[in-house]
Amino acid sequence: MKIIQTHPRSRAGRARPVRNQTRVFPPSRGQAVLAGEPRNQRFPVEFQVSARKWRPQTFNELVGQEHIVRTLKNAIELGRVSHAYLFSGTRGVGKTTLARILAKALNCQNGPTPEPCGTCPFCIEIREGRCIDVQEIDGASNNSVAEVRELIDNIHYATSACRYKVYIIDEIHMLTRNAFNALLKTLEEPPSRVVFIFATTELNKIPETILSRCQSFEFKPLNHRQIIRQLEEICRHEKIQIDDVSLEEIAKNGAGSMRDAQSLMDQVIAYCGKTINSGSVEAVLGIAGQKALENFVDHLIRKDVTALVGQVQEIAVQGKDLHLFCRDLLEYIRHLTMVKVAKDPARLLDSHACNVETLTRQAGAVHLDELHQIFTVLSRTENEMKRSPMAQMVFEMTVLRLTDVRPFQKIDDLLQEIGQQEAGEFRSAGSPPAPAPIPGGKSVSSSGSAAPAPAGAEETLPWDRVRQEIIRKKSYFDHYLTTCRVIEFGPGNLHLAFSDDFTLGLVKEEKNLETIREAVKKICGHNVEVQLSRDTAPPSAGAGADEKKNPETMNNPPPGPLNETEVIQDALDIFGGVVIR
Amino acid sequence: MPLSYILGQEQPKHILKKALEFGSLPHAYLFYGPESVGKKLTAIELAKILNCTEKGPLDRCNTCPSCRKIEARTHPDFFLIEPEKTASGRDGQIKIEQIRDLQKKLVYLPYEGRVKVAVVDSAESLNLQAANSFLKTLEEPPSDTLIILVANNLYQLLPTIISRCQGIKFLSLRPEAVQKILTRKVESGDLALPLEELELRAARSRGRVHRAVEQDLERVQEYRNELLDLVEGSSFENMGQLFEWTRNRARQTEDLQDLLNELLTLIRDLAVLKRSAHPQWIFNRDLLDRLTPLAEQKSLSALLKMFDAAHRTKGALNANLNAQLTLDNMLISFCEAA
């Protein structure tokens, strides 16, 4: 692999807080300083972005990732340093930084120590990226098997001065398959005093054979508080005035990445100089701010389309980012939902910017279902806007759609309503011809109309109400109960007969029986013994469910539908074959 | 004044000026925003300013050898990376070789200027390998280097790339700015357009210079009435006519994206009219007489469905689907919605 060596150019007279100057490419020898002008007239690119300037140099400076830092420190103290580490996690959470700190900790003059001194020659060399025993390799540029072979060829030579030979391979996920495989043997049993540190943002692209040979550490995204603390620290050192809301906005837009947050802060500083207020933060980040969100939701609740479209236009004209507005709006809706459902919303909100009073007022004016719908529509739109070149129009259409939102009606409620209506109709219209005469006077029709129950029961035993109650709880019962017949339904006893063994078996399960019992208890107010049996009576004998034909037609089947044997016969005629069973 | 050549874009200019003043230029910028609003131009201006021998590094003269060389793209410290055109003439990708080549060149100190400036145009067309191999350089580039990425859609870039740059957002230009740019182009002889047309073009450009330059006003006028007929007349009863239309339209593939953009704008106008009847927010204000009664006819949900269908079709055509079939499909959705 191409070895990354720094070419220590003379930087005399330039006081700069350079802490690390890794070179990714071979140095230019000889040809480098051909510049036509004297050095002191060149443009002073002295400025270094915060993410580089404030890159942590010791374990203690590192923000977050306590679990990893502790593991590594202990490993060093106990002398149990593994020969291969894999650091993975999202951008800007400290992977490369920690790799460099670990390299220093291992090679510091004061022995492998969890507290590298930072002043010995080795620490300085590593910090400036010119230590020949600590090689930082760009895995994405040097990703082929040829480069891995070169590395393996060189790995057997002893270190020049340091204790350990450390290979830091960044962006390791871009190595080709062959390159990964070429590395396997060396990675499993490297020469002594060699340590590999791999860093990647995409753990899923690393082959399992590599994973099993490394100690793998997953870096967590940083939370807002950690980012805010670090930003405050930087502002203090740079003598920059900044308020809490601005810090919070910057941290939020960093989305868990310290480097993103620091880049944003650099941007804000570039825009407003030494004093930062939330207005200019909003201008730089392109966010609309809390006030705009509150107004927008107010308009939305009033369903005032003119104002809504107007506000969208205004946001776009002011140069605010509609994607971010959509994202913030989602968060706002989340806050609203929290306020609506939670007892102690202030604890859940965790933000300086939120105005709980406004939220409570607005939450009172919307239905929870509406909030859910708005959230769903917005989250779909947010994705769509990322892909579309016409983001503004997509968002406007979404806004129009949002004004159409109204609360759901629960399907259960609707069903019950319909059921009640139907039952009412049956009772009024269908009672005279209701049940066919029942043989033995025992069975009760399972259809809509309530049949007179056997002696001893209350006037009408409301089997259909029981049935509805069961279906409301477990909708799959609907099918079972339409195919069954009620033999007996008295106080303390319920006897159901099923036309086939399969359904019988299903209903026989204890939890299903329990459901029936509970329903009866709820409707009739007493416990009941449930008895199940196979319906042996021929269909003609039963009064049957409402779907069933009346006895006459069952005895003399109509010419229309074919019976089973006829169907089979037809099939045999067409396809040929034998009936096995 | 530095950057005065760039019209509009006050905020990006302000940020860059401040950075030049304080000497706090980061090592990597990401200019993003709609296409054709001056991002690349600003990047090149910045390169000139940094390297100008007369007025630099705070302004540029455009006459010194350095400025002229950058203008001609022959300056040894100015690198412009663009996607290579593929054989079929479409925009290709930026390949890893281009990035490796750039990385090698950036290692050297500036040859004659102060700062090496590398501009990567259409950064979203960096392919996966190229983007990844750029990461280390982008995080800690060699000294005296400024890398400027130029991108239309921020969300098509790797998050690891975005996180390493200072982003500057460019906005759509205001019509006045577009008009000024057009006027300047006409006066300098780059563009042959009648001056009186410029205002209308600027107004319809939606803030993008190339739209203002390229669009054919008469045809747009034609389109819009045709499209409104389509929206009005879509029903399962006259499918024959509709399919006739798609067959004719599908042949002129190069216009289709424009056509769909117009269609989307019209449907959007109808929907807005439907809900608020406030002509202030309508794009096609000149067609208001026709739009208003049509908006009365259609239901909002139908319009929303039409918008979705047209939007989907636009994406599908971008993905190279058969034009006639996708358009047929869209019209069937229209009929269903109606």
Alpha carbon of A2: minimum distance to chain B alpha carbons (Å): 12
Is A2's pLDDT higher than 50? no
Interface test with A, best of B163, B269, B285 (most A CBs within 10 A): B163
Q: Which of A43-52, A168-177, A351-360, A467-476 has the highest mean pLDDT?
A: A168-177
Is the domain A224-285 a CATH 1.10.8.60 member?
A: yes
Is the pLDDT at A450 greater than 60? The verdict is no
The CA distances from residue A14 to A45, A220, B304, in Å, are 10, 37, 62
- CATH fold label, A442-555: GMP Synthetase; Chain A, domain 3 (3.30.300)
Q: What is the mean pLDDT of residues A106-130?
A: 89
| In the predicted structure, residue A579 carries a pLDDT above the cut 80 | no
Residue B164 is which amino acid? Answer: R
Average pLDDT over residues B146-165: 90
Q: Tell how strand A493-498 and strand A484-490 pair up.
A: antiparallel
**Hunting for tokens 């990647």 — which residue is that?**
A200
Q: Which of the residue ranges A214-223, A480-489, B328-337 has the most confident prediction, judged by mean pLDDT?
A: A214-223
Q: Does the N-terminal peptide bond of residue A539 adopt cis geometry, omega within 30 degrees of 0?
A: no
For residue A436, what pLDDT band results from cuts at 50, 70 and 90? very low
Chain A, nearest residue to B111 by Cα: A35
Chain B residues within an 8 Å CB radius of A387: 155, 315
Rounded to a whole number of angstroms, the distance from the CA of A408 to the nearest CA of chain B is 17
User: Cα–Cα distance between A137 and A2 in angstroms, integer?
Assistant: 7
Q: Which of A186-190, A489-493, B315-319 has the lowest mean pLDDT?
A: A489-493
Q: What is the pLDDT of residue A452?
A: 43
CB A520 within 8 A of CB A494: yes
Instruction: Kindly report the three-state secondary structure assignment for every residue of A183-236.
Output: HHHHHHCCCCCEEEEEEECCHHHCCHHHHCCCEEEECCCCCHHHHHHHHHHHHH
Q: Which residues of B232-257 are buried (b: 16+ CB within 10 A; e: fewer)?
A: eebeeeeeeebeebbeebbeeeeebe
- Residue A47's pLDDT band, with cuts at 50, 70 and 90, is confident
Residues of chain A with CATH 1.20.272.10: 290-402
Q: Which of A25, A45, A310 lies nearest to residue B143, judging by beta carbons?
A: A45
In chain A, residues with a C-beta closer than 8 Å to the C-beta of B268 are 393, 396-397
Reply yes or no on whether the pLDDT at A580 is more than 70.
Answer: yes
Looking at residue B257, what is its pLDDT? 80
The minimal CB distance from A171 to the residues B136, B169, B281 is found for B136
Alpha-carbon gap, residue A409 to A432, rounded angstroms:
35
Which among A49, A52, A388 is the top mutation candidate for probing chain B, defined by the most B β-carbons within 10 Å of its own β-carbon?
A49
Q: Give CA separation, B35 vs A426, B39, B51, in Å.
A: 68, 8, 26
Extract the tokens encoding A580: 């096995």
Selecting from A25, A43, A49 the residue whose C-beta is nearest the C-beta of B115 gives A43
Q: Do A198 and A172 contact (CB within 8 A), yes or no?
A: yes
B43: closest CA among B11, B68, B13? B13
* Whole-number Å distance between alpha carbons of B218 and A18: 60
CA distance A394 to A27: 50
Nearest CB to B276: which of A42, A305, A386? A305
Handedness of CA A130, A133, A138, A141 (dihedral sign): positive
User: Amino acid identity of A224?
Assistant: H
Are A25 and B56 an interchain contact pair (Cβ–Cβ within 8 Å)?
no
Nearest to A400 among B132, B280, B300 (CB): B300
Averaged pLDDT for residues A140-152: 91
| Set of chain B residues whose Cβ sits within 8 Å of the Cβ of A405 | none
Q: Closest Cα of chain A to B175: distance in Å? A: 12
CB contact under 8 A, A141 and B136: yes
- In this complex, do A45 and B112 lie within 8 Å of one another by their Cβ atoms? no
Rounded to the nearest 5°, which phi and psi values hold at A484? -110, 165
Q: For residue B183, give both structure tokens.
A: 């006027």
- The correct CATH number of A290-402 out of 3.10.20.30, 1.20.272.10, 3.30.565.10, 3.40.50.11900 is 1.20.272.10
Size of interface A-B (CB pairs under 8 A): 190
Q: Compute CA distances B265 → A106, A204, B201, B233, whole Å.
A: 63, 42, 16, 18
pLDDT > 90 in chain B, percent: 18
Alpha carbons within 13 A on the beta-carbon side of B272: 27
Long-range contacts (CB closer than 8 Å, 24 or more residues apart) made by A436-439: A436/A543, A436/A544, A436/A550, A436/A551, A437/A543, A438/A543, A439/A537, A439/A541, A439/A542
CB B147 within 8 A of CB B109: no
Kind plus residue range of the DSSP H or E element containing A136: strand A134-138
Task: Give B324→chain A minimum CA distance, Å.
Answer: 22
Average pLDDT of the segment spanning A82-109: 93
> What confidence score (pLDDT) does residue A562 get?
62
pTM for the structure as a whole: 0.70
**Mean pLDDT for chain A overall:** 78
CA pair distance B304, A393, nearest whole angstrom: 11
pLDDT at A356 over 50: yes
Q: Choose among B7, B46, B285: nearest CA to B149.
A: B46
Share of chain A above pLDDT 70, in %: 80
Q: Mutating which of A25, A388, A406 best tests the B interface, going by the most B Cβ atoms within 10 A?
A: A25
Lowest-pLDDT choice from A27-41, A45-59, B285-299? A27-41
Q: Does A24 contact B264 at a Cβ distance shorter than 8 Å?
A: no
Show residues of chain B in contact with A43, CB under 8 Å: 50, 56-57, 114-115, 144
Q: How confident is the model at residue A561 (pLDDT cuts 50, 70, 90)?
A: low
* Cβ <8 Å between A404 and B300: yes
Give the mean pLDDT of A32-53. 55
Most confidently predicted of A214-223, A265-274, A430-439, B209-218: A214-223
Question: Among A102-116, A429-443, B103-117, which stretch is predicted with the lowest mean pLDDT?
Answer: A429-443
CA distance A392 to chain B (A): 11
Per-residue pLDDT, averaged over A304-321, amounts to 84
Helix, coil or strand: residue A493: strand
Say yes or no to pLDDT of A360 above 60: yes
Task: Quick: pLDDT tens for B21-69.
Answer: 888 888 999 999 888 888 999 999 999 998 888 877 778 888 888 889 9
Nearest to B103 among A141, A273, A310 (CB): A141
The owner of tokens 């994206």 is B257
Buried b (16+ CB within 10 A) or exposed e, A393-418: bbbbbbbbbbbebeeeeeeeeeeeee
Smallest CA–CA distance from A42 into chain B, residue: B114
Using a CB-CB distance cutoff of 8 angstroms, which residues of chain B are in contact with residue A400?
271-272, 275, 300, 304
- Tokens 């057009």 belong to residue: B182
Out of B19, B155, B315, whose CB is closest to A270? Answer: B19
Find the range with the poorest average confidence among A38-52, A261-275, A516-530, B220-234: A38-52
Residue A260 has pLDDT above 50, yes or no: yes
Shortest alpha-carbon distance between residue A503 and chain B (Å)? 42
The pLDDT value recorded for residue A351 is 67
Q: Nearest CA of chain A to the CA of B142: how many Å?
A: 7
Which region among A68-82, A137-151, A190-204, B196-210 has the lowest average model confidence (pLDDT)? Answer: B196-210
Q: What's the pLDDT at B277?
A: 60
pLDDT beyond 70 at A69 = yes
* In chain A, ranges of CATH 1.10.8.60 domains: 224-285
Kindly determine whether residue A27 and residue B107, on different chains, have CB atoms separated by under 8 Å.
yes
Are A441 and A435 in contact by the 8 Å Cβ rule? The answer is no
φ, ψ dihedrals at B38, nearest 5°: 105, 15
Distance from CA of B39 to the nearest CA of A (A): 15
The C-alpha atoms of residue A75 and residue A63 are separated, in whole angstroms, by 20
The predicted model gives A389-393 an average pLDDT of: 82
B173/A392 Cα distance (integer angstroms)? 15
CB contact under 8 A, A45 and B144: yes
Contact B133 A141 (CB under 8 A): yes
pLDDT at A151: 92
Partner-chain contact B25 A45, CB within 8 Å: yes
CB atoms A397 and B268 under 8 Å: yes
Say if CB A6 and CB A22 are below 8 A apart. Answer: yes
CA A66 to chain centre: 24
B14 CB burial (10 A radius; 0-12, 13-18, 19+): middle
Pick from A34, A259, A400: CB nearest B111: A34
The predicted model gives A331-349 an average pLDDT of 82
In angstroms, rounded to a whole number, what is the distance separating the alpha carbons of residues B171 and A491?
77
Residue A197 has pLDDT above 90, yes or no: yes
Asked if B268 and B307 count as a contact pair (C-beta separation under 8 A), the reply is: yes
Nearest-angstrom CA–CA distance, B163 and B233? 50
Task: Give the residue-averaged pLDDT of A244-265.
Answer: 89
Q: How far is CA B298 from the centre of its chain?
A: 33
Which residue in the set A24, A257, A286 is minimally distant from B136, CB to CB? A24
B110–A397: do the CB atoms touch at under 8 Å? Answer: no
What's the rounded mean pLDDT across residues A214-219? 94
B-chain residues near A306 (CB < 8 A): 276, 278, 281
Instruction: Provide, for chain A, the percentages of residues in helix, strand and coil under a 3-state DSSP scheme, each rounded to the nearest 5.
Output: 50, 10, 40
CB A308 within 8 Å of CB A339: no
Average pLDDT over residues A359-366: 86
Any idea which fold A50-218 has? Answer: Rossmann fold (3.40.50)
Q: Min CA distance, A81 vs chain B (Å)?
A: 27
Contact A219, A96 (CB under 8 A): no
Tell how strand A275-276 and strand A194-200 pair up.
Answer: unpaired
CA distance B313 to chain A (A): 12
The CB density around residue A437, as the number of other CB atoms within 10 Å, is 7
How far apart CA A196 and CA A168 sit, in angstroms, is 6
Cβ–Cβ of B163/A323 closer than 8 Å? Answer: no
| Residue ranges of E strands in A419-577 | 484-490, 493-498, 529-534
The vertex-A476 CA angle with A473 and A479, nearest 5°, equals 125
Among all residues of chain A, which has the CA nearest to that of B34? A389
Q: With 90 as the cut, is the pLDDT of residue B322 above it?
A: no
Ranges in chain A annotated CATH 3.30.300.180: 442-555
- A180: distance to nearest CA of chain B, Å? 16
**Rounded to the nearest 5°, which phi and psi values hold at B51?**
-110, 0
**The pLDDT of residue A560:** 53
Task: Give the total residue count for chain A.
Answer: 581
Task: Please give the mean pLDDT across all residues of chain B.
Answer: 84
pLDDT for the residue numbered A353:
67
Q: Which residues of A touch B25 (CB under 8 A)?
A: 45, 47
C-alpha–C-alpha distance, residues A266 and A277, integer Å: 14
pLDDT: is A27 or B72 the higher one? B72
From A19, which residue of chain B is nearest by alpha-carbon distance? B140
